[in-house]
Structure 1
Amino acid sequence: MTSLGMNWILCPFKSEEAMEEVYNGGPWYVGRFIVGMDKWSPSFNPNSLKGITKPIWIRFPCLPLFCWDEENIARIASRIGVPMYVDGNLFRWGKREFSRVCIRLNLENSLPKGVWIDGMAGRFF
């Protein structure tokens, strides 16, 4: 591994298969933080967010009860980014204040305040 400065680290791999296994096998943690990984490209610029993604946790407060399953939460999260990990604690009956999901967000896009969802009882935000 080689530090590129500005909290960027370059990780070479011996094979494409090894790189794909690490890249797709996450989420990966250092301490209690999820590590964001992107494939290097010749246009990489450490001073730009172009083409860069980051894993972030988002919350969905006040979801209708019919949305409280992994499939629906991932479907809603996919309107914002690429779902990576659904917090398993949200399926405990005492923890229904909000659902929490980790998504891979393209840093060129801003995070929306919410998304419109068509559900069994109509649309909700």
Structure 2
Amino acid sequence: MIDLPNDYFLVQFLAEEDYRHAIYEGPWMIADHYILVQRWKPFFTVTTTQTKMVAAWIRIPGLPIELYNDCFHWRAKSKPRTMLKIDKLTSNHSRGKFARICMEVNLNRKLVSMINVMGHIIKLEYEGLHSICFKCGKYGHRQEHCGVLME
């Protein structure tokens, strides 16, 4: 592990399995602070304009059982961002309260709180990303602290 400026760390894994676990099984938390894990990009520099692509679990509460199929998941993947993984209990239809999909999310882009699937409005919850403002769609603050004026 190498410490970089601005609280970034570079971690190299010896085993592919450990790397996949770190990327896909989060979100991770240490001492009440969420750790955002992202893939290494060549020529990475720590700047305030750095794109923050992170793997995040998206929970879909109350998903109708008819939409628990691969067609829904592949349709949903184009909405928030790139799908990385489907939760095992979701893929084998063992849990009915909610579905979970691990997506690659760009924290510099607008995040959505719901999607329309076959005429049904489906609510999305981002696990481990608690500072999302759905007024402006940005990560880093909550709606009650948003400075964006609505028309």
Following superposition, the deviation at residue 49 of structure 1 comes to: 4.8
Residue 4 of structure 1 is matched in structure 2 by 4
Give the TM-score, by structure 1 length: 0.66
Unaligned runs of 5+ in 2: 28-36, 122-151
RMSD: 3.2
Unaligned runs of 5+ in 1: 13-21
The sequence identity of aligned pairs, in percent, is: 19
- Partner AA of 2:112 in structure 1: P
> Partners of 1:49 and 1:124 in 2: how far apart?
36
- Partner AA of 1:79 in structure 2: K
Residue 39 of structure 1 is matched in structure 2 by 41
- Partner AA of 2:110 in structure 1: S
| Change beyond 3 A, Cα 1:71–1:38 | farther
- Divergent runs of 4+, >4 A: none
CA contact (8 A) 2:84 2:104 kept: yes
Q: Does 1:112 align with 2:112?
A: yes
Give the TM-score, by structure 2 length: 0.56
Partner secondary structure for residue 101 of structure 2? strand
Residues 89-108 of structure 1 correspond to what in structure 2 (within 5 A)? 89-90=89-90, 91-93=92-94, 95-108=95-108
Following superposition, the deviation at residue 85 of structure 1 comes to: 1.0
| Change beyond 3 A, Cα 1:5–1:50 | closer
